[in-house]
Structure 1
Amino acid sequence: MITTEQQERVRGWFTGRLPEEWKVEPPEVTVDRDEITVILTIDDVDVADDASEAERDEARAGRVRAFREDTRERRIEVAREAERRYERKVSWGVKVGDYGEMFTHLAAPVMTRLRQPQRQVLDTLVDAGVARSRSEALAWCVRLVGQHEEDWLAELREAMSHVADVRTKGPAA
């Protein structure tokens, strides 16, 4: 479990390390046991007031693509420093207006044992063509729970963070 202090330290390091021109807003930094995800907000595009939503979306996609290419070497440099410092992979994403794109992110394998009723749920999703495999069906289920239970999951994460903080202050600390 990542403590609030650990999360704050990583966020603080990135806030101090990233070039100012990359920070229209403070970066969103998320940490788990495998990965640090950094989502940057960059300047929105200048399009005509009467531009269609499609034109605006394509302009934002173009801005993200240009940012990705123009900052590649510096992002790699920052990521390598952070990976050595925090022993986790770094993934990058960018937001422009209401358009967002992840450049890289880790897909970590997760093993689990399921009883027949749970396997039948996954097999139904595979048989219906919703997923190509049990693994993909399980990932689909996790995304669905994440979408529909976000408030509850956020509250649970906050509570776990407080427990982790208390543990670090305990007698064995």
Structure 2
Amino acid sequence: MPERADIADWITEHLPRGWFEDVEVRCDKDEILVVGRLKPVADEPDGACIARFRETTRERRMQIASAAERRFGRKVSWGAVCGPTEHLFTTLSVPAMTRLRLDERRVLDTLIDAGVARSRSDALAWCVRLVAANEEEWLSELRVAFEAVERVRAAGPAGNPPAEG
């Protein structure tokens, strides 16, 4: 499986010059999300700048996405940031199966009963967003550590599984 850095490099190489001031590539096993920072335009609201970018680049973005999907076996989604406004275009919503015990299900059901969520799926997504918002520093450290492990693994011997004892 390609590393995030390899995917980000490939995406960055295929983006037309001038589209973004800066670009961030986020990915997991299912999706590659390309989020670019747009240069604000005087007297144009940030949302309008994003909408204009989305419309004028649609065909080329689809071409880049198709090539990346063939190469990396993942769907490609796009987004843009202008000023403080971020808008993600058509991102994936992937089901995640989990087994929960009674006390864990009660947490989700409480969120439903309180009107915070419509379903257990929504309640679980709400919980994940809450953890992400409150534990970002810890999650960032964990991601950095994992990337280091991936680099060490990639530098090791290829195709030689450990001998069984």
What TM-score do you get using the length of structure 1 for normalisation? Answer: 0.87
The letter for the 1-side match of 2:21 is: V
Classify the secondary structure of the residue corresponding to 1:22: coil
Q: 1:172 Cα shift?
A: 4.5
Q: Distance in 1 between matches of 2:90 and 2:78?
A: 6
Q: What is the aligned partner in structure 2 of residue 150 from structure 1? A: 136
TM alignment of 1:37-76, pairs within 5 A = 37-47=33-43, 59-76=45-62
Pairing 1:167–2:163 present: no
Match of 2:21? 24
Q: Provide the residue aligned with 1:114 in structure 2.
A: 100
Residue 33 of structure 1 is matched in structure 2 by 29
| Bigger relative CO (Cα 8 Å, ≥ 6 apart) | 1
3-state secondary structure, aligned to 2:97: coil
Structure 2 counterpart of 1:81 = 67
TM-superposed deviation, 1:83? 0.5
Partner AA of 1:161 in structure 2: E
Name the CA distance, whole Å, in 1 between partners of 2:158 and 2:10: 27
> Tell me, which stretches of 5 or more residues in structure 2 are unaligned?
160-165
Q: SS of the counterpart of 1:28?
A: strand
Q: Distance in 1 between matches of 2:116 and 2:157?
A: 50
Cα separation, partners in 2 of 1:121 and 1:101, compared to 1, 3 Å? same
CA distance in 2, matches of 1:133, 1:8: 36
Q: CA RMSD in A?
A: 1.5
Q: What amino acid sits opposite 1:45 in the alignment?
A: V
Other structure's SS at 2:18 match: helix
SS of 1:125 mapped into structure 2: helix
Separation in 2 of the partners of 1:159 and 1:133? 34
Would you identify which runs of 4 or more consecutive aligned residues in structure 1 move more than 6 Å? none
Normalised TM-score (structure 2): 0.91
2:74 counterpart letter in structure 1? R
The CA distance in 2 between the partners of 1:172 and 1:15, in whole Å, is: 27
Matched residues, percent identical?
Answer: 50
Out of 14, 20, 39, the residue aligned to residue 11 of structure 2 is 14
Total equivalences in the alignment: 159
